[in-house]
Structure formats: structure tokens, C-alpha cells
Amino acid sequence: MTVGGYHLLVVNGYSRTKNNTPNGKCMRSKSFKIGGHRWFIEYYPNGYRQEEEDAGCIFFYLVLDEINFADPVTVSYGFSFPGYQTQRQESPLLVSPSGTHEFVSNNFWSPGCFMDRQRFEKSIHLKNDSFTITCHVVLTKVVNIGELGATMHFVKLPLTDIHQHL
């Protein structure tokens, strides 16, 4: 069974977030709900780690906003700019992981998505000191009929006699 949705992260005042948020510190989106789970996005305008090499990149992380959950939560997710599918670039500005990620009770963070700050600041995506990022989330859950306690009943149907009525 799969269920999905998306969340738009709108950053107004990009230069203020860049100037006022130290390297290694983040801003957090409002929580949103997809697939029965609460999520938020962490936005690191000056890099995730406090090391110098991160300072030239902007990072985004999808975070499961729940402490107690029994079963792992398996998702496919990605970050993109709205309308990005219609634009062609040889090398993407926003580098997002592909495949699935399993959130478990001791690991609430996804692998990060990042972009080069200099390229981003020259791109069409930064308009009037603002930008929008779309986070697409698709949850996959394997449903085992036995776990549901359901018993499947089959009814044997007689052969059709429709040819006699034509």
C-alpha cells in the first residue's frame, strides 16, 4: 500500500536566513502530515556541519516528527523546485537522494539534500530574496493479510451459461 503527498517550504528573506543562521544551525518548517505521520523539514542555510567545507552549501532534511512508533516507516522522498520538471539542466542545482529510506525509532532524519550556494544565488529559483522547495513524500507499507486477522473466503462460481441466452 502506498500513500503520498508533498509540502511546500517557502523561504521569504533568504539573505536574512543566510546572515543570521550560523553554520551547523537550522531553521525548521511547520509540521505537516502525510500518510498518517507528522513531518518537518530542516533548512540549513550555511551548511549542516560546522566544518568550513559545508559553508558553501545549503542543506535540507526530511524529519519524522514522532518519538514513539513501533514499525519502521519506509518512504521515497525528494526535494525539487516547483515546475522543475519543465526546465532542463545538464547538472541539477538541487541534489536529492534517490531510492527509499527507512525511518526507525532511533533515526528520525533522512539523508540530506543539498545545493551549491553560489549556483543557487545566480539561479532563476531565487526571486525577490525568496524561494520555494517542494518535498515529495511517498510512504510504502507492506500489508500482510495474516497480521490483520482476516480470513480470506473464496466462493466457487458456476460456469457461465451466457451463450444460451444470446
Q: CB-based contacts of 134: which residues, under 8 Å, 6+ apart? A: 6, 7, 8, 9, 79, 80, 81, 82
In 3D space, the residue among 14, 29, 13 whose CA is nearest the CA of residue 135 turns out to be 29
C-alpha cell at 116: 551549491
Burial class (CB in 10 A: 0-12, 13-18, 19+), 1: exposed
Per residue of the chain (166 residues), what is the pLDDT tens digit?
788 899 999 999 999 999 999 888 999 999 999 988 899 999 999 888 766 556 688 999 998 888 777 778 888 888 888 876 534 454 567 777 767 777 777 666 676 788 889 999 999 999 999 999 999 889 887 655 555 555 544 444 455 555 554 4
C-alpha cell at 122: 545566480
User: What is the chain's length?
Assistant: 166
Q: Strand order in 73-80's β-sheet?
A: 2-12, 130-140, 73-80, 100-103
Q: Specify the CATH class of 2-165 in words.
A: mainly beta
**Domain parsing of the chain, residue ranges:** 2-165
Q: For the whole model, what pTM was predicted? A: 0.76
Burial class (CB in 10 A: 0-12, 13-18, 19+), 84: middle
Element containing residue 28 per DSSP (H, E): strand 27-28
